[in-house]
Amino acid sequence: MGLLLLAVAAGCAPSPPALEQTGTLPPGGAISVTSLRGNVSIYAPARGQSPTAFTLDAIGPEARRDVTVRRSGNRITITTRGLGTDLLVRGPKGTVINVSAASGNINAADFEGVVNASTDRGDIKMLLPQYGNANAGTGNVSVIFASTSWPGTLHFTSRHGDVELYVNQTAAARVDLITMNGTVFTDFPLKGTAHGQSEMIDGNINSSPGSARPRRAIDAFVRDGSIRLLQLKPQM
């Protein structure tokens, strides 16, 4: 049985991208994206592409002037000047993609690597076979990740917005969920506490009493908004 992952299609642009670059990126490579204005989408290589293929599609009237791409070894750096260009990035399995946006949404779906996403103004939506981190200034964070194994602590935050996480129901982890002004809910067997407008859930999931503290952790913090930690279950 497969895990319950929402079907997300990359979709097609209404017109060909103004700027397109392709190449290869061996496993273990990294892609850094800095966008001043525009949305960023992240996907696996398209059907028919090599599994090591890297693709950048830049969509917008000023894309050719707006976007700069540099490469150094197995690292690719993509930056925009803020002229309003949407970016679609496809990366191979095992790649780490770091995305920072000043104003724009970040979407990642079915990319088999690690995504670290941050936006000052915009929403973050990620559906990942592996895992990632997400931070929004003003915007909602929605992350589904299937992995049961990740190093250290994953962080999910929003200053003004909600955080919703779907975590593999078998994952063993320490969770710390805190909102300063909102509600916290989980369908894992954990209890929360409230202090005025603040709510907190702090405990271990899938860890038997008396066992060692889990090596992995999930931290979610919201200043104004709610947090939901939900179990990602197999399809029936």
- Res 5: pLDDT: 39
- Res 186: pLDDT: 96
Question: What pTM was estimated for this model as a whole?
Answer: 0.90
Mean pLDDT by 10 residues, the chain (236 residues): 39 64 91 98 95 95 95 96 96 96 97 97 97 98 96 97 97 96 95 90 82 85 98 80
Cβ contacts of residue 157 below 8 Å, gap of 6+? Answer: 134, 135, 136, 141, 163, 220, 221, 222
**Measured distance CA(20)–CA(57) in Å, rounded:** 5
Domains of the chain: 18-118 (2.160.20.120), 123-236 (no CATH)
Within 10 Å of residue 25's Cβ, how many Cβ atoms? 22
Q: Are 187 and 213 in contact (CB under 8 A)?
A: no
**Measured distance CA(60)–CA(17) in Å, rounded:** 8
Q: How far is CA 140 from CA 52, 83, 119, in A?
A: 32, 24, 10
Within 10 Å of residue 143's Cβ, how many Cβ atoms? 24
Q: Are 49 and 90 in contact (CB under 8 A)?
A: yes
- Res 215: pLDDT: 87
- Res 210: pLDDT: 59
pLDDT single digits (tens) 100-119: 999 999 999 999 999 999 99
**Measured distance CA(97)–CA(114) in Å, rounded:** 6
- Res 27: pLDDT: 80
Q: What are phi and psi of 147, to 5 degrees?
A: -65, 145
**Measured distance CA(30)–CA(96) in Å, rounded:** 5
- Res 10: pLDDT: 39
Among candidate residues 3, 15, 2, the one with its CA nearest the CA of residue 166? 3
